[in-house]
Amino acid sequence: MGIQHGPSTGAHRAARRGPSRAWLVLAGIVLLAVGVGVGLLVAPRGAEVTATVPTTTVVTSPVAGPTASHPTLLGQVVRVDSGDEVVVRVDGTEMVVAVLGIDAPRSAGPQRATGECGADDALRFADRTLSGQTVTLVPDPTIPEVDDAGRRLAYVVLPSQLSYTDAALLAGVVAADTSRKLWYAPVFAREQGEAVDGDRGLWGAPCRAKPGEPFPAGR
């Protein structure tokens, strides 16, 4: 007579399923490890990410910069005298500001019998861009706050964060000022180069000015 086997118990079923669960757990661990490894291989590494630094970013230099920065002032442009000189009211006091980084042609006057070519265009551009505007006067860390004539030396920045220096150079209505060793001089030279290449303003007809040379006489 053959041996009768009873029905399988829960313990038997658990025993038969046990290896399957163990293999599933082991397989999951292996897959997880593989996934982590692949992720590390394809993920971008910090050293390989290149960040674009704005040209207006100031990098502090113990050689070029002073130990203490000049103050930044907020005011309103109340008058435009030329393409590179404006009067700004700050806390109720009016001050003459020589806009840094640019040299504008001059109109005829008491100290100049003949105007320079492009003076009227530079004045109109400055008037249209700056008159009545609330501006920030930003100093350059490489030069004094004021010049020998008592004018404040500053970049004039509009509420849009556009620097008037950049706008005027790119429009070609002024030349880059090379008389001072300014912090952003390389940027200004590049902007002037763009205007020269495009024959904009001073660099085109009728002035045909040449970089580094005096402005032609007015026409």
pLDDT, residue 64, reads: 37
Q: pLDDT-based confidence at 160, cuts 50/70/90?
A: very high
Is residue 175 predicted with pLDDT exceeding 80?
yes
Residue 18 domain flag = no
Window from 21-25, 70-74, 129-133, 180-184 with minimum mean pLDDT: 21-25
- Residue 89 domain boundaries: 73-107+114-203
Is residue 218 predicted with pLDDT exceeding 60?
yes
Residue 9 domain flag = no
Give the residue, 21 or 58, on which the prediction is more confident: 21
Residue 53 domain flag = no
Is residue 200 predicted with pLDDT exceeding 50?
yes
CA distance 210 to 192: 11
Most confident of 4-18, 44-58, 83-97: 83-97
pLDDT digits 0-9 by tens, 47-64: 222 222 233 333 223 233
Residue 132 domain flag = yes
Is residue 28 predicted with pLDDT exceeding 80?
no
Average pLDDT over every residue of 179-204: 96
Average pLDDT over every residue of 167-176: 98
Residue 103 domain flag = yes
User: Whose CA is closest to 106, among 118, 94, 90?
Assistant: 118
Residue 145 domain flag = yes
Q: Tell me, what CATH number does 134's domain have? A: 2.40.50.90
Residue 184 domain flag = yes
Is residue 124 predicted with pLDDT exceeding 60?
yes
pLDDT, residue 25, reads: 39
Torsion of CA 68, 86, 133, 73, to 10 degrees: 20
pLDDT, residue 189, reads: 97
Tally of structural domains, the chain: 1
User: Whose CA is closest to 74, among 57, 97, 58?
Assistant: 97
85, two tokens = 């000189």
Percent over 90 (pLDDT), the chain:
63
Residue 210 domain flag = no
pLDDT digits 0-9 by tens, 136-155: 999 999 999 999 999 999 99
